[in-house]
């Protein structure tokens, strides 16, 4: 959810703001869409069992790594640059999603920055295991948006 709010915060232009929110959440939405198609009604069961059966070679994680990689979005950004440069700003929320995930994911969920060329990833801190990450994240969003509103 915060990825969408960050997307809208970054772009801030009224008509594009909703697209920016959507694009900010897009890496997770695309991965979830793949999971829903692959596992159908058992997707939530699959997600709940991941702690027990997590395997980075599973196709689900390959899809996750692909949509959280800098390479695919960079190809899209280059195409947008040449085809519709005025929309290039809309790739920023996608990049910012990846940037945030680098520091807030680890282990099997670690963001593979250059996947599929490389499996390299940082060992961030899992946001779901450290409530302070979410508290700081949402606090920053509130403060930044209040500054934009009142300044």
| Chain segment 85-96, per-residue pLDDT in tens | 999 999 999 999
Across the chain, mean pLDDT equals 90
Determine if the pTM surpasses 0.85. Answer: yes
Neighbours of 131 (CB within 10 A): 9
So what's the pLDDT on residue 150? 87
| pLDDT for 71 | 96
Give the pLDDT confidence of 2-54 residue by residue, as tens digits.
999 999 999 987 788 899 999 999 999 999 899 888 888 787 777 777 665 66
Q: What is the pLDDT of residue 97?
A: 97
Say what the pLDDT of residue 108 is.
87
Across 57-79, average pLDDT: 93
Q: What is the mean pLDDT of residues 99-117?
A: 93
Contact 87, 80 (CB under 8 A): yes
Q: Which residue has the tokens 């027990």?
A: 52
Write out the DSSP string of 27-53.
Answer: HHHHHHHHHHHHHGGGHHHHHHHHHHH
**Cis amide leading into 116 (omega within 30):** yes
Mean pLDDT of 107-126: 91
Structure confidence at residue 56 (pLDDT): 63
């Amino acid at each position: 959810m915060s990825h969408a709010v960050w997307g809208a915060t970054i772009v801030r232009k009224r008509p594009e703001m909703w697209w920016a929110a959507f694009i900010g959440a897009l890496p997770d939405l695309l991965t979830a869409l793949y999971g829903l198609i692959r596992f159908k009604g058992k997707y939530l069961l699959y997600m709940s069992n991941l702690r027990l059966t997590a395997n980075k070679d599973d196709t689900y994680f390959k899809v996750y790594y692909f949509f959280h990689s800098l390479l695919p979005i960079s190809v899209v950004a280059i195409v947008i640059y040449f085809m519709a440069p005025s929309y290039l700003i809309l790739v920023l929320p996608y990049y910012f999603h990846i940037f945030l995930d680098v520091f807030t994911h680890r282990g099997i969920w670690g963001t593979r920055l250059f996947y599929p060329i490389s499996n390299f990833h940082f060992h961030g801190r899992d946001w779901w295991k450290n409530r302070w990450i979410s508290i700081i994240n949402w606090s920053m969003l509130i403060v930044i948006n209040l500054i934009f509103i009142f300044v």
